[in-house]
Structure 1
Amino acid sequence: MLPHSTIEQLRYGRVSSQAYFFRTAIEKTPANTVSVTLLGLEGDEQAESFHGGVERAVLQFDYDYYAELQHTFPKSASLFVSGGYGENLVVAGMNEHNICIGDKIAVGTVVLEVAQPRQPCFKLNHRFNEPTISRYSQNNNKTGWFYRVLQAGQISVNDQIRVIERPYPQWTIANVQHYLYVETDNLAATTELAALPELGAEVKGVFQHRLETNEVEDWHSRLESLIKLEMRVVKIVEESATIKRFYLSRTDLGALPPFSAGAHITLKLPNGLKRSYSLCDSTVEGVYQIAVQQARDSQGGSQYMHQQLKVGDVLSVYEPTNFFEMARDKHHLFVAAGIGITPFLSMIDEAIAHQEQFELHYCVDNIDDYPFKHELSAYAANIHLYTSAQRLDLAQLLNTHQRGSHVYSCGSPAFVQLVRDNASHWHDNNVHFENFSPAEHADDNAFTAIVSQAGTEVEFSVSAKQSLLDAIRAHGLRLDSACETGTCGRCKVKYSGDVDHRDTVLSARERQTYMTPCVSRAKSGVLKLELA
C-alpha cells in the first residue's frame, strides 16, 4: 500500500530578521485552510529567491521525528515542535524512507509531485540552538523534502494526503541522499540520478557536475557557516600595560547574537589574520567586549590589535561560538592564569544569575596590580590570588571532588595541563578547560604529508615549526577550522599513518580514523590525509 496520512497543520511564514540576526521565514503561522499556487502556499515567503521556486514550492517534514529529536538534543527539547523545521505541511508517518522522487500526491484539491530532498543549512543550527543539528539532520535522513505543484487548489487541516502514483519506487528520498552524501563515487547511481526527469534541477545538477568533473562537493559551509557581522570599535580601555579591552558594536546598530559564558568571537583583521578572543562581559547589551594581551612572540594578531586598531575602525566578526560552556550545577572552581581570566569574567556573571556558588583561583604577577582588579573586587569573598611568592597548591585545591562541583581552567597549555593532571581523579564530565594557544613541542620533527582533495593529490613537507594545518593551506588546499588549539574538532580529517594526537576533543575510537591537523602531526614516516 502506498503511504497516506492526514494534514495535522498547515503553516506559512513571512520573512523576518528579528529573531535570528539573518533573514529567514522559518517561523511560520498555522492556518486552517490555504490556497496553493504553482509557487507554494499563498502568503508563504522565502528569504532568498533560491529558497523557493516551482521545484521548492512546498516543504513537508515528518512530525514523528520531533519526539526523537527532543530526546537526542535535550537542551533544545522545547524547540522541537510542529513547524520547527519550517515545514508547510505537518504530517505524521510520511518520511524520507517511504516517499520517493516523482511520487504524485493528492491532498485537498491539490496535486503535488516530489521534486527533491531538502538540503539543510546552518540556519537550522541557530533555529534550535544546536551547532550540529544541520549535519545531524543530513546524516540521519531527517531533512524533509520539496514538492512542485502540478495542480493548484486548496488544502485544509484534517485533509487526507496520499500517494496516488509512484514511478520510481527505488528512489526514496533516503536512497537519493545516500548517493548525494555517502556513496558519492557510485558511477551507476550518479549516472541514473543525473538523468532522472522528475529530480529537481538543484540536486540533479550535483550529480551532473560529478559526472563532468569527477569532483565531490564540500558541504561544510552550507551546514556550519557562521554569521559574519560588520562591527565597529567604539571604545578601547587599557586594563594593564599589556592588556587592552575592546568594545565592539554592529555598524547597523542591530541586535547582537546572544552568547553563553565561555564563548568567543573570531575577528578577521585587515592584515588578513583571523584571531579568536573570549567574550568577557555578558551584561551589556549591544556591545561585545574582548580583552587582548600583546604577546611577545606575536605573529601579527595581538600586535595589530594593540598598535594599529583604533576607535572607529570596522572589522568583520564571526558570531560567538562556545567550546567552554559552564555546566548547570551547585559549585564551580575557576582556575586561571594571566589573560586566561577573560572567559571567567562572564562565567562569574552567569553563576550569580543562576544562584550557583563559585570560587576564582587566579595566578597573577602582582597581587596589588593585576588585570581586571576593579571588576573582580566586587567578588572579593570568592577570589583567591596567587603569585610566585605565594603559589597555588593545585594538589590541595583539587584533592577532594565533591558531588556537584566542576573545575574550569584557562591559560597556557602548560598551565591547563597542570590543572588537568591534578584533577585526574575527577570525573571527565566535571573537568573543563580551554587552551589559549597550542602546546609547544621542542622535539617536533619535519615530515611528509600527502593530501587528497577533490580528485587532486598534493605532496609536501611540513617543517618542525609549522602546523600541519598551516602547511595544508600554504599549498592552496581548503580546510575550515575554528579554535586551532585542538579543542573543537572542526578541522578533523581522515588519515592513514602514524599520528601524534594532541587534541582534546576526539575519542579514542575517533582517533583511529580522524586527526586534527591544527595541533596533531606525524610521529614518523609519511602521513596521508583525505580532505572533503
Structure 2
Amino acid sequence: MVDRQPVALDALLVGNLSPIDDRGTQSGIDKHPIYGSVQLGSTGFTGDHQGDLKRHGGVDKAVHHYPWDHYRAWTDEIGPLPLLKRPGAFGENLSTLGLTESDVAVGDRFRLGGALLEVSQGRQPCWKLNRRFDLPDMARRLQHTGRTGWYYRVIEGGLVSAGDRMHLVERRHPVWTIGRLWHFLYVDTLNRQALEEIANLAILPSGWREYAVKRLQTRKVEDWSRRLDGETTPVNG
C-alpha cells in the first residue's frame, strides 16, 4: 500500500456525441455529471462517447481526469466563462480536488469504487478545445501551462460513483510525474538523457515513446500546429 490520503471523486461525467464546429465534426467533449453507479469497462464508462477513436478513447485513454484545482487559474486568465462554473469544461470524466500533474505519475494505480485504474499518459490538447472555449489558442494555452490533465487505462472494471474515494495503491515510476513528462515533451524538448528514459519507459503508450525515439534520431521536435490549431479538411473527433 502507498501512504497517501484518498481523494474524493467530486464528479463523474460522461458525454454524448455532438457537433463541435460548423463542419459537423462530432465530439464527445461536452460531458455532464452522472449520479449513481456507472459501469467502467476497458474502454471507458457506459454512456461515454468519443467521435474519433483513432485520437481519443481506447484502452490507453479510457478515462480522462482533470483537476478542479485548475479552474480558478483558468477563470483568472480567461474570465468567468459559464463553462468554468462546473466540472466538465475540459471533457473530463473524473473531477477531483487535491490531485494535479505534479502529484500523479505514469503507472500509478488507483482503486476507485469497484475499479482499478492505472495512469497511462498525459493529455495532448487538441483544437477542439479552441472551439469549445471559443478561443483560438485554448489548446496552446493548456499545453503551455502544463495544466493538461491525464488519462487512465482500466486494469479492473467495476462500478464507480461520484463520492467514491480514489485510493493510491501502487507507484512504480514515481519520478515520472505527468508534470515531469510534460516538461521534457514541451519545454526542455531535446534533453537527451530524459528522452532516452522516456523512450525506455515501457509503461508509456508506444506513441509517446516514439516521440522520444524520433527526437533522439533527428534532433528535431515534431510540429504541433495541426493538433493544436486544427485541420483544413473535416476529421471526426
Report the Cα distance in structure 1 between the residues aligned to 2:230 and 2:15, rounded to whole angstroms: 23
Shift of 1:45: 1.2
Counterpart of 2:117 in structure 1 is 112
After TM superposition, list the pairs within 5 Å mapping 1:421-436 onto structure 2. none
Which of 89, 94, 97 matches 1:92? 97
Which of 210, 215, 218 matches 1:210? 215
Report the Cα distance in structure 2 between the residues aligned to 1:11 and 1:62, rounded to whole angstroms: 13
Report the Cα distance in structure 1 between the residues aligned to 2:143 and 2:4, rounded to whole angstroms: 25
Counterpart of 1:22 in structure 2 is 25
Letter in 2 for 1:13: G
- Please, what is the CA RMSD of the aligned residues? 1.7
Report the Cα distance in structure 2 between the residues aligned to 1:165 and 1:189, rounded to whole angstroms: 23
Bigger CA radius of gyration: 1
Shift of 1:129: 1.1
Structure 1 position 37 matched with structure 2 position 41: yes
Counterpart of 1:177 in structure 2 is 182
Distance change >3 Å, CA 82–CA 172, structure 1 → 2? same
Report the Cα distance in structure 2 between the residues aligned to 1:124 and 1:16, rounded to whole angstroms: 14
Report the Cα distance in structure 2 between the residues aligned to 1:172 and 1:18, rounded to whole angstroms: 32
Report the Cα distance in structure 2 between the residues aligned to 1:19 and 1:184, rounded to whole angstroms: 32
- DSSP-derived class of the 2:195 partner: helix
Please tell me whether the aligned partners of residues 4 and 94 of structure 1 are also in contact (alpha carbons under 8 angstroms). Answer: no
Shift of 1:79: 1.7
- DSSP-derived class of the 1:35 partner: strand
After TM superposition, list the pairs within 5 Å mapping 1:148-167 onto structure 2. 148-167=153-172
Report the Cα distance in structure 1 between the residues aligned to 2:137 and 2:110, rounded to whole angstroms: 32
Counterpart of 1:7 in structure 2 is 9
String of CA shifts for 1:442-493, please: whole Å, max 9, x gaps. xxxxxxxxxxxxxxxxxxxxxxxxxxxxxxxxxxxxxxxxxxxxxxxxxxxx
Q: Which runs of 5+ in 1 are unaligned?
A: 230-532
- DSSP-derived class of the 1:49 partner: coil
Shift of 1:185: 1.2
Q: Higher strand fraction: Structure 1 or Structure 2? A: 1
String of CA shifts for 1:256-284, please: whole Å, max 9, x gaps. xxxxxxxxxxxxxxxxxxxxxxxxxxxxx
Q: Higher helix fraction: Structure 1 or Structure 2? A: 2
Counterpart of 1:528 in structure 2 is none
Please tell me whether the aligned partners of residues 101 and 168 of structure 1 are also in contact (alpha carbons under 8 angstroms). Answer: yes
The size of the alignment, in residue pairs, is: 228
Shift of 1:214: 3.0
Counterpart of 1:190 in structure 2 is 195
Shift of 1:98: 0.4
Counterpart of 2:204 in structure 1 is 199
Please tell me whether the aligned partners of residues 3 and 99 of structure 1 are also in contact (alpha carbons under 8 angstroms). Answer: no
Shift of 1:192: 0.7
Report the Cα distance in structure 1 between the residues aligned to 2:137 and 2:5, rounded to whole angstroms: 30
Report the Cα distance in structure 2 between the residues aligned to 1:172 and 1:87, rounded to whole angstroms: 19
Which of 127, 136, 147 matches 2:132? 127
- DSSP-derived class of the 2:51 partner: coil
Report the Cα distance in structure 2 between the residues aligned to 1:10 and 1:126, rounded to whole angstroms: 23
Letter in 2 for 1:141: G
Distance change >3 Å, CA 3–CA 116, structure 1 → 2? farther
Distance change >3 Å, CA 181–CA 22, structure 1 → 2? same
After TM superposition, list the pairs within 5 Å mapping 1:13-412 onto structure 2. 13-17=15-19, 21-32=24-35, 33-50=37-54, 51-74=56-79, 77-80=81-84, 81-225=86-230
Q: Which runs of 5+ in 2 are unaligned?
A: none
Please tell me whether the aligned partners of residues 21 and 131 of structure 2 are also in contact (alpha carbons under 8 angstroms). Answer: no
Shift of 1:36: 0.5
Shift of 1:18: 6.3
Report the Cα distance in structure 1 between the residues aligned to 2:20 and 2:126, rounded to whole angstroms: 19
Please tell me whether the aligned partners of residues 18 and 26 of structure 2 are also in contact (alpha carbons under 8 angstroms). Answer: yes
Whose RCO is larger (CA < 8 A, sep 6+)? 2
Shift of 1:207: 1.1
Counterpart of 1:388 in structure 2 is none
Please tell me whether the aligned partners of residues 7 and 97 of structure 2 are also in contact (alpha carbons under 8 angstroms). Answer: yes
TM-score (ref. length: structure 2): 0.90
Letter in 2 for 1:7: L
Report the Cα distance in structure 1 between the residues aligned to 2:91 and 2:158, rounded to whole angstroms: 21
String of CA shifts for 1:138-189, please: whole Å, max 9, x gaps. 1111111010000010101100012111111111101001111111111111
After TM superposition, list the pairs within 5 Å mapping 1:493-512 onto structure 2. none
Report the Cα distance in structure 1 between the residues aligned to 2:93 and 2:232, rounded to whole angstroms: 26
TM-score (ref. length: structure 1): 0.41
Letter in 1 for 2:43: L
Please tell me whether the aligned partners of residues 107 and 203 of structure 2 are also in contact (alpha carbons under 8 angstroms). Answer: yes
Report the Cα distance in structure 2 between the residues aligned to 1:18 and 1:186, rounded to whole angstroms: 37
Overall identity of the aligned pairs, in %:
36
Shift of 1:77: 1.9
Shift of 1:227: 5.5
Please tell me whether the aligned partners of residues 146 and 182 of structure 2 are also in contact (alpha carbons under 8 angstroms). Answer: yes
Please tell me whether the aligned partners of residues 20 and 132 of structure 2 are also in contact (alpha carbons under 8 angstroms). Answer: no
Please tell me whether the aligned partners of residues 59 and 153 of structure 2 are also in contact (alpha carbons under 8 angstroms). Answer: yes
